Structure 1
Amino acid sequence: MDKRGRPGPRRTLSELAILDAALALLAERGADAVTIRGIAARVGVAPNAVYTYFPDKAAVVRGLAEHLLGRVDHDRFTEPSQPWRDRVRALSLELRAELLAHPGSVHLMLGHPPDGPHTRAVRETLLAVLADAGLGPGDAADASHLINVHILGSVAFEAAAPPEGPAVATARFRWGLERLLDGLVAYAGPAGAERSVSR
């Protein structure tokens, strides 16, 4: 039975308040603390009040991902007059920065992959930029997956507090991203190489 359909208390919360509480728990106590009961305790309500807005923890996690990805201004990466490589680099760095602000979110997202409108918009933007590189739909999808793995892996590694510190972790992320883009330029051939540089 869908818990959203159950009679519940008068709505004194909002989805945003619940997501803010989840983000606070994530920052203070880690991913394991983000539960329906934990969120309810954080905002001072009974768990069934949270269920009025989210049927389960997976829905909260998807809402968190949407909340974070909604902060990424993906529209500014669609301008075809800019080299595709510059756009992929800028989008990757912005996504990584947003996730690093809430590093525990990666662990949660891997367990409950998001698929809301903001998630789809970011995905479609990256696919469109990779199409500008000369990649067909299948190759663009594979390249997008590879870039996302690089971003998520970097955030997860940095969240584990590597001994070399965040500056080195960022430099290594950028180095790996450039080598990945080098590979895409080589794979796309002369047309992709031409579109990857400013005129």
Structure 2
Amino acid sequence: MDKRGRRRTLSEQAILDAALGLLAERGADAVTVRGIAARVGVAPNAVYTYFPDKAAVVRGLAEHLLGRVDHDRFADASQPWRDRVRALALELRAELLAHPGSVHLMLGHPPDGPHTQAVRETLLAVLVDAGLGPSDAAEASYLVNVHILGAVAFEAAAPPEDSDVAAGRFRWGLDRLLDGLAARVATGGAEPAAGNAP
């Protein structure tokens, strides 16, 4: 029998699905071009037709995951900014935790595609709505992303624990971060006086 008859049709989506499967079953280290090729039943050079290297596959994978986040629903400026940041952070956490190895891959190959940019721009817009200037909003956006990625990375690497405990820790940290941003907004972005510094 001609083995080619059993070969799956190759596409970008088939490659990303294979990468997600490897990630779920064997972890981030298994997501290689050779591993993906073996999973879809093609030679590695067939994968390179769609993605030039592993970094491109990882960026495509991040785009696939972030594309599931409905960032438009956080753009309603009539809603409190804290609620919008919290909801976006919780949705991003849930999406990343559904694929635990994804954060490890993304930290090694930072994504930069349109879905990534859309999520970043949404968060920036919400922080500007909160009353932060462009520079402060950019720094605050970075801080929120560090909290999300760092918390998910630690949770994915740690021994399994009660999911409610992990979620509670995440929310506690996020709320303290938002408290700090709210204080920054309340002072109009002014630095504290030297005598009041901790």
TM-score normalised by structure 1 residue count? 0.88
Write out aligned runs for 1:1-199 (5 A).
Answer: 12-162=9-159, 164-189=161-186
CA contact (8 A) 1:158 1:166 kept: no
Please identify the structure whose Cα radius of gyration is greater.
2
Structure 2: any 5+ residue segments left out of the alignment? 1-7, 190-198
Distance apart, 1:50 and its partner CA: 0.4
Distance apart, 1:34 and its partner CA: 0.4
Distance apart, 1:103 and its partner CA: 1.1
TM-score normalised by structure 2 residue count? 0.89
Distance 1:78 1:191, change over 3 A: farther
CA contact (8 A) 1:68 1:99 kept: yes
For 1:82 and 1:190, the matched residues in 2 are separated by 22
Cα shift readout 1:72-91 (whole Å, capped 9, x = no counterpart): 00000000000100000000
For 1:53 and 1:164, the matched residues in 2 are separated by 39
For 1:41 and 1:146, the matched residues in 2 are separated by 39
Distance apart, 1:68 and its partner CA: 0.1
Structure 1: any 5+ residue segments left out of the alignment? 1-10, 193-199
Distance apart, 1:104 and its partner CA: 0.2
Distance apart, 1:158 and its partner CA: 1.1
Percent sequence identity over matched residues?
86
Distance apart, 1:169 and its partner CA: 0.9
Distance apart, 1:191 and its partner CA: 7.7
Cα shift readout 1:75-120 (whole Å, capped 9, x = no counterpart): 0000000010000000000000000000100000000000000000
For 1:67 and 1:24, the matched residues in 2 are separated by 13
CA contact (8 A) 1:134 1:188 kept: yes
| Alignment length (residue pairs) | 182
CA contact (8 A) 1:133 1:191 kept: no
For 2:109 and 2:40, the matched residues in 1 are separated by 23
Distance apart, 1:67 and its partner CA: 0.1
